[in-house]
Amino acid sequence: MTRVRFAFAALVALILAGAAGLVAPAPAAAQKPGGTLTIVRPTDPVSLDPQLETTAPGAWVYFNMLEPLLTIDEKMQIRPSLASSYEVMSPTKVRFKLRPGVKFHDGTPLNAAAVKFTFERALRGTPPARWASLAGPLAGAEVVDDLTVDVTTREPYGPILRTLAMYCTGIVSPTAVQKMGEGFSRAPVGTGPFRFVEWKTNTHVILERNPDYWGDKALLDRVIFKVVPEEGARMIALQTGDADMVLLPAPAQLPQLKRDPKYVVHEVVGGRVVFAGMNAAVPPLDDVRVRTALLHAVDRKAILENILEGSAVAARGVLAPSVFGFKDMQLDRLYPFDRAKAKALLAQAGYTPGPDGVLQKGGQRLSLSWLAARGRYPKDGEVTEAIQAMFKEVGVEAKVQFLEWATVFTQFRSAGFKDHMFTLGWVTSNADADYSMYALFHSKQIPPTGWNTSRYSNPKVDALVEQARRNLNQTEREKQYGEAQDILAREMVWIPVYNTKEIVVTRAGVKGFTVHPVEYNLWLGKVWLDK
Amino acid sequence: MAVDARVFDRAGATAAPATLSADAWQRFRRSRLAMVGLVVVALLVIAAAGAPWLAPADPAKQSLIEKRARPGGKFILGADEFGRDILSRLIFGSRVALLVGGLSVAIALAVALTLGCLAGFAGGFIDVVIMRIVEILLAFPYLLLAIAVVSALGPGVLNTTIAVGIWGAPTATRLVRGAVLVARDSEYARAARALGASAGRVLIRHVLRNVLPTVIVYSTLFMANAILVEAALSFLGLGAQPPTASWGLMVSSGRDFLLVAPHIATVPGLAIMVAVLGFNLLGDGLRDALDPRLRGQL
Amino acid sequence: MLTFVARRLLLAVPVLLGVVFVVMLTVELIPGDAVALMLGEHATPEAVARLRDYLGLDKPLMVRYAAYVGHLARGDLGRSIQQNRPVVDELADAWPATLELTVAALVLAAAAGVAAGVVSAVWPNSLFDAVARVGSLFGLSMPVFWTGLVLIVIFALWLPWLPVGGTGSLGHLVLPAVTLALPSVAMVARMTRSSVLEVLREDYVRTARAKGVAERLVVSKHALRNAAIPILTLLGLQAGQLMGGAVLTETVFAWPGLGRLMVKAIFARDYVLLQGAVLVFALAFVLINLAVDLAYGALDPRIARQG
């Protein structure tokens, strides 16, 4: 009875409010400037200078202080940033027109010389920038006039625009670099909506609003990035109000946070694929039937639901959907979870059940060695263990060795890598298929040169990938990558498991935040606090 | 026969049995806490030996859909994040616990007794050198030690246990040396020497006996530490490899779920505590029982 | 005694040099290269080789060791490979936090542990004794992150008395110090109980009692003095372990200390930074051991005579 009365009252109130709204102009979603946003994340940056730091802890911070020529928006489209327009002059040269009147945080002007300085420093500095290896055949920048700069590559490079939109290619103030020397890495000077205030190692980094920003000024007064290594403690900090925003939240708590109106869970599919890799050079994984059987043996849905619990989505191929050139490989259709099929394929390949349930052929047990690290990617250890158990169900024994990352990394990079299986994650840093396809599947990229740890070799795929890399016609490139992925789909050397989701949890009072598919692009320029 | 002041023991005590061991056993039996310790340790050994028959389920069998099941019903003590039965894993895990606790202590003690006695007894230059080596080892980060051992020998519980044993050796050595220094110059030892006993006999009978209580107490405490250190190393990937059940690893992997399914980490943690308690009570009981100064007393 | 101290400090030098060498050698022998790890998945082998050359890391071990020692003599601890920052700066950021936490935990452990141990020894097998033993074992057996998170939930979430983590005020120090001290309290209490019990059974104690000396005096003057040696040894060792083992506590409570720094350095194979941190610890150990040995001498003059 009371419920009906309450509903009626609410309805009346709603009508009145609506009427009031029609009469008096409602204020626009009242963006309140001011306030401090406290963000907690697990690790401290190594440096705030892209020269020395390309990983997320540093990138999250400097992304708001240093801006590249171009940027990628949340829909993965290239947008102008410090460059207001560009023109492809030749397959190896792109001309950029810079925005006039932009100033660095130290008051010096942004001009072509600054762009040239940034690239020189990155490519030919002592030592060169960490991100130089990400930039492919980037050659440098030439000054045309004060606001016009030509960026050149050593050979035609299809991904050039996406490369120049990467978070780590932000333009730095030459004056500041020359004046501060090493100190620049601890207090960078750029053009972004926020500028540096202080960095207390392993404790926090503080940024403040840049009042002279060329675009829409930031609404927040300050941003504090705090280090809280323990996942549980981060979540508790959110609950006590010690933190407004949590990066890398606990997946197990997401379901209840989503139901709680006090918090908002922002999520979007990211750019990383985590997979169980197969070494196609070591028997029996050189037999495509065995590899196919293994693919059929894995219940990816169960892993996604029970281990990742909504913190990731099923991988639909070897690339993430946000990557340019992505093609859905239809893995659920090509390789559905089917234990019977897996067993049948293994029988076809000549395996019969042994005395303890493990398959064998010619007296040899079907025992695979598996090398992995724990904690490098979300739930990588758990995913590995789950797949190990699933393999057991079809008679394949997997001997997992967990070692720490430094050891595992070294082994993956060595020419003598003899393990059958490995667990790895790969993020397409510049969101362009070339970055993954070339490094992971080209036959010339077998370790120690590159990352083709699976030792995959197919001349057709090699040719397609090389062509696409040199082609500046983006439509053609997309077709070429599509063909390459079709071929790969028929002779899979990976068991792709999931695409990470970029997940950020905030208190409901944090507004204006949109999470970006590229994990490094943590844009705080539009965030405001409704307190 | 050496003059023994304790001949003048109090009257009223029950007639002292003839042999030391029977006497010790009687004293041991009388202490309720010591018996509790014995029972706990015995249960542990039984669990370890009879694991395949005692465990209700296959400790490696996963059932993802039943992940993190609460205790009760099908999973008496609940299920872990893979839907594996915690009770079964607990029972199998007792093997790892005994191995880790026992072997690491044995290694640490072997080193400590050798070096500690040598340093304490010989004194002088040898003492200085040994103690400096101990200091170097103490300063050496144990994580690096574990990585080094694992790199050389491969991962796995056995090799990590060796690393833990080596890690515990310097501390134990210092303790032993300290005890030896005290005992070496006590009146009893001097009296024994004055009465003509050789240095060797003095060492064995008096000094070691003095060292024993310290060693027993430290060992039983070190065991808990050892299991926890193995847990941390396993979590980093250096110890127990999947799907081996190790209590320490169960606790470590339960860390992520502490706020949603606390039983995953807490149950094995309690198992560790009970085991450590058992060893401690047993150790205390042993020490009390073997102390001849209590001979004839209750 | 001054010569004793001087000699021990002089002896510290080979210890420090020895530790540095062993660490350097170990990092050299285990798989993993600092530069390759730093540059990550994206680096080409040429880029890695170039950077190694630039940083002088391709020189043979003994050359690097000699160079390091040379710099060390001038007070230069080198530059962290990963951070490209002087190691001295890195350490300066971290060691005050570690010192604060270690001292707090040690004081707590000593006070609570000795008190509990003495009471247990004076009334052995009593209810207090049983509760103390089981309770302290609980603190010893449950891992740090468990006790830490439980304490945070109780004292920061349910009862909003204390902050979740980080440094700043005394309030920030409470939970991490308690968490870190708990396992030590157990050890100290047990060792104290055992030592004091031992001593209480000694002849001279019985003599004192027979002479009619008050029990309190018996315990404090006679028993504790002689029981002190193993307790002191343990405290000295606990101090070292609290320092080195604080990494888990630092992680749970976001405490910016040396423990986390060292672990990060190990995973990154940044041996320069690692050596700097290890040197700090080694020096601390040497000084603590020296203090303990001096205390031995004060408590038991017979030992002082050998040094």
* pLDDT, tens only, A25-65: 444 457 888 899 999 999 999 899 998 888 889 999 999 99
Phi, psi (rounded to 5 degrees) for B146: -65, -45
Substitution target from C21, C141, C273 for chain B, most B beta carbons within 10 A: C141
Q: Give the Cα separation of A143 and A152 in Å (integer).
A: 11
pLDDT at site B13: 38
> Parallel, antiparallel, or unpaired for β A263-278 and A421-427?
antiparallel
Q: Give the Cα separation of A322 and A518 in Å (integer).
A: 8
How large is the greatest C-alpha to C-alpha distance in chain B, in angstroms? 75
DSSP bridge partners of A225: A39, A205
pLDDT at site B1: 36
**Which amino acid, residue B226?**
A
Residues in chain A closer than 8 A to C268 (CB atoms): 406
pLDDT at site A6: 53
Are C12 and C283 within 8 A, CB to CB?
A: yes
Q: Give the Cα separation of A152 and A412 in Å (integer).
A: 33
Cis peptide bond N-terminal to B243, omega within 30: yes
- Angle ∠(B204,C289,C200) on CA atoms, nearest 5: 50
C253 and A CB contact within 8 Å: yes
The encoded tokens of residue B190 equal 């001097």
List residues in chain B touching A: CB distance below 8 A: 60-62, 64-65, 67, 81-83, 147, 150-151, 154-155, 235-238, 241-243, 253, 255-261
Q: Which of C30, C44, C94 lies at the smallest CB-CB distance from A133?
A: C44
Helix (H), strand (E) at residue A204: strand A204-209
Instruction: Pinpoint the alpha helices (H) of A40-104.
Output: 56-62
Residue in A274, A381, A393 with CA at minimum distance from that of residue A337: A393
Question: Residues of chain A with pLDDT > 70: what percent?
Answer: 94
pLDDT band at A303 (very low <50, low <70, confident <90, very high): very high
Spell A182-215 as b/e; 16+ CB within 10 A means b.
Answer: eebbbbbbbbbbbbbeebebbbbbbbbbbeebbe
C33 and A CB contact within 8 Å: yes
- Mean pLDDT of chain B, nearest integer: 80
Q: Which of A374, A390, A399 lies at the smallest CB-CB distance from B237?
A: A374
Question: Residues of chain A with pLDDT > 90: what percent?
Answer: 72
Question: Residues of chain C with pLDDT > 90: what percent?
Answer: 16
Asked if the Cβ–Cβ distance from C18 to B175 is below 8 Å, we say: no
Are B249 and B100 within 8 A, CB to CB?
A: no
Sign of the torsion angle spanned by Cα atoms B113, C118, B101, B23: positive
| Contacting subunits of A (3+ beta carbon pairs below 8 A) | B, C
pLDDT at site B136: 87
Asked if the Cβ–Cβ distance from A374 to B82 is below 8 Å, we say: no
Which has the higher per-residue pLDDT, A501 or C301?
A: A501
pLDDT at site A180: 92
Q: Which of B33, B144, B214 lies at the smallest CB-CB distance from C23?
A: B144
**Which amino acid, residue B18?**
A
The encoded tokens of residue C68 equal 């390091």
Tell whether ipTM is more than 0.90: no
Say if residue A109's pLDDT is above 60: yes
Name, in order, each residue with C-beta under 8 angstroms of A430's C-beta and a sequence gap of 6 or more. Answer: A134, A159, A162, A163, A165, A166
DSSP-derived letter for residue B82 is T
Residue in A175, B36, B216, B13 with CA at minimum distance from that of residue C193: B216
**Which amino acid, residue B34?**
A
Task: Compute and round to an integer the Cα radius of gyration of chain B.
Answer: 23
Which has the higher per-residue pLDDT, A241 or C211?
A: A241
Q: Which of A126, A230, A451 lies at the smallest CB-CB distance from C54?
A: A126
- Angle ∠(A337,A486,A446) on CA atoms, nearest 5: 95
User: In A, residues 212-241, which contact B (CB 8 Å cutoff)?
Assistant: 231-232, 235-236
Give the residue-averaged pLDDT of C179-192. Answer: 85
DSSP bridge partners of A70: A80
Give the residue-averaged pLDDT of B124-145. Answer: 87
DSSP bridge partners of A138: A153
**Which amino acid, residue C300?**
D
Q: Give the Cα separation of C296 and C303 in Å (integer).
A: 7
Asked if the Cβ–Cβ distance from B64 to A302 is below 8 Å, we say: yes
Say which range, B63-77, B256-270, B273-287, C172-186, has the weakest mean pLDDT: B273-287
Asked if the Cβ–Cβ distance from B269 to C142 is below 8 Å, we say: yes
pLDDT at site B4: 36
Asked if the Cβ–Cβ distance from B123 to C18 is below 8 Å, we say: no
Say if residue B238's pLDDT is above 50: yes
Substitution target from A53, A201, A444 for chain C, most C beta carbons within 10 A: A201
Q: Give the Cα separation of C192 and C215 in Å (integer).
A: 18
Are A287 and A349 within 8 A, CB to CB?
A: yes
- Angle ∠(B132,B135,B137) on CA atoms, nearest 5: 115
Q: Give the Cα separation of A110 and A81 in Å (integer).
A: 12
Question: Residue A64 to residues A48, A100, A165, A189, B97: CA-CA distances in angstroms?
Answer: 11, 20, 14, 11, 50
pLDDT at site A27: 46
Q: pLDDT digit string (tens) for C108-157?
A: 999 998 888 888 888 877 888 888 877 877 777 777 878 888 888 888 88
Q: Give the Cα separation of C27 and C21 in Å (integer).
A: 10
Are C219 and C122 within 8 A, CB to CB?
A: yes
pLDDT at site A95: 95
Q: Give the Cα separation of A509 and B1 in Å (integer).
A: 86
